[in-house]
Amino acid sequence: MLLSNGSRRSIGSRCLQQRVIVSVERSLNTTTATSRDRKSQTSKSSRPDYTKFPTDALSYHWETTPPSPTQLAHASKFFRLNPPKFLWSAPKFKTMDFGDSPEVCFLGRSNVGKSSLLNTLLNQKIAHTSSKPGRTKLMNAFAIGGLEDEGRNRLVVLDMPGYGKGGRAEWGTEVLKYLGKRRQLKRAFLLIDAEHGIKATDRQILALFKEHSVPHQIIMSKADKVLFPGSRTPSPAALDGRIAGLKQLMEDVRDVVEPDPEEDVYAWGEVLACSSEKWIAGKRMGVDAVRHSMLQAAGLELKEEKLAKPEEIVPFDQIPGLD
């Protein structure tokens, strides 16, 4: 299946990943501690150790291969080394700046967490956020990899106003123009709140993607609210159950996003779940996978073939048994 950025996806065999559910390890045994140690260990033991959290719980790939740890590390480093620069804000499509850099945008209902995720992805509080819907009122563009458009390692990221409650009809018109006309748009990331699932307005956007052949991918935002609701540390069994619930949700999303794999060629064959707030093993949950996906959309990801060692070429006359 040929996608707009020219890459080919393997289809057919459903990539049903084996669910590796590992229990949450509780930290440190405190029985022989001195009082100072005990104090520090108590604070540590109240924080669960999620280093064995099954990272494959945060994504569902049916036509793609999950990124390798090296690719994830590369994506993380790319954004660390390339801090974002504010480019422009535009109320209307016709007032947007044009450039040739590859572009990705973040769309979704108001309050779904677009601006927060962007700040997390870009390692800077550069986009405005609020607990009230309707905070982002303009289309805001940020450049990764320098302000000058030299065509190398430069990615433009757009934070869009939300739709639905708190959104405004005129923003919808402008976003629609953008989706229909923007040549540089390599992938639209549609955020769906993991707690609330797909709504009617999301389905309308999905229909627009289809109508305008926009490459798109679903991101389940605020996954912490599903996996770690409340302040109590979940028991391993409770966490396992919630992980299974999230997986099911992602599978259900697939059926809405890509009911016909032959026809819906612009739907990227994976769903990623993440959180802008929850940390696991020193990283924000699922965020590097989203970074990798952004780079991949722009052709800037670490290509796996670069990692492979060149194969040794055996001359024909030295192949055993071919005398």
Residues lying near ligand GTP in the complex (CB under 6 A) are found at: 108, 110-116, 129-131, 133-136, 161-162, 166, 221-222, 224-225, 275-277
Q: Least distance in Å: CB of 123 to ligand GTP?
A: 15
Asked if 221 interacts with Mg ion (CB under 5 A), we say no
Kind of pairing, strands 267-273 and 279-280?
unpaired
Is the CB of 282 or the CB of 320 nearer to ligand GTP? 282
Q: Least distance in Å: CB of 100 to Mg ion?
A: 26
DSSP result, 37-63: HHHHHHHHHTS-B-TT--GGGGEEESS
Is the CB of 71 or the CB of 115 nearer to Mg ion? 115
Angle between helices 287-298 and 69-81 (to 10 degrees): 80
Which of ligand GTP, Mg ion, none lies near 59, with the C-beta cut-off 5 to 8 A by kind? none
Residues 59 and 53: their CA atoms lie apart, in Å, by: 13
Residue closest to Mg ion when measured from CB atoms: 136
Smallest CA-to-CA distance from 143 within 153, 135, 133 is with 153
- Considering only residues 136 to 175 of the shown chain, the ones binding Mg ion according to CB under 5 A are 136
Q: Least distance in Å: CB of 275 to ligand GTP?
A: 4
| DSSP single-letter state for residue 189 | E
Which stretch in 108-116, 200-208, 233-241, 297-305 sits in contact with Mg ion by CB under 5 A?
108-116
Q: Least distance in Å: CB of 283 to ligand GTP?
A: 13
Which of Mg ion, ligand GTP, none lies near 288, with the C-beta cut-off 5 to 8 A by kind? none
Residues 149 and 147: their CA atoms lie apart, in Å, by: 6
Asked if 120 interacts with Mg ion (CB under 5 A), we say no
Report the C-alpha dihedral over residues 202, 60, 195, 177, rounded to 10 degrees.
-20
Residue closest to ligand GTP when measured from CB atoms: 162
Smallest CA-to-CA distance from 254 within 50, 34, 15 is with 15
Residues 263 and 253: their CA atoms lie apart, in Å, by: 17
Which of Mg ion, ligand GTP, none lies near 112, with the C-beta cut-off 5 to 8 A by kind? ligand GTP
Is the CB of 9 or the CB of 92 nearer to ligand GTP? 92
Asked if 293 interacts with Mg ion (CB under 5 A), we say no
Count of positions (residues) in the chain: 323
Angle, CA of 248, 161 and 155, to the nearest 5°: 80
How would you class 83 by CB atoms within 10 Å of its CB: exposed for 0-12, middle for 13-18, buried for 19 or more? Answer: middle
Which of ligand GTP, Mg ion, none lies near 166, with the C-beta cut-off 5 to 8 A by kind? ligand GTP
Which stretch in 12-20, 27-35, 135-143, 201-209 sits in contact with Mg ion by CB under 5 A?
135-143
- Considering only residues 82 to 101 of the shown chain, the ones binding Mg ion according to CB under 5 A are none
Is the CB of 99 or the CB of 172 nearer to ligand GTP? 172
* 3-state DSSP assignment of residue 141: strand
Give the interface with Mg ion as residue ranges (CB under 5 A). 114-115, 135-136
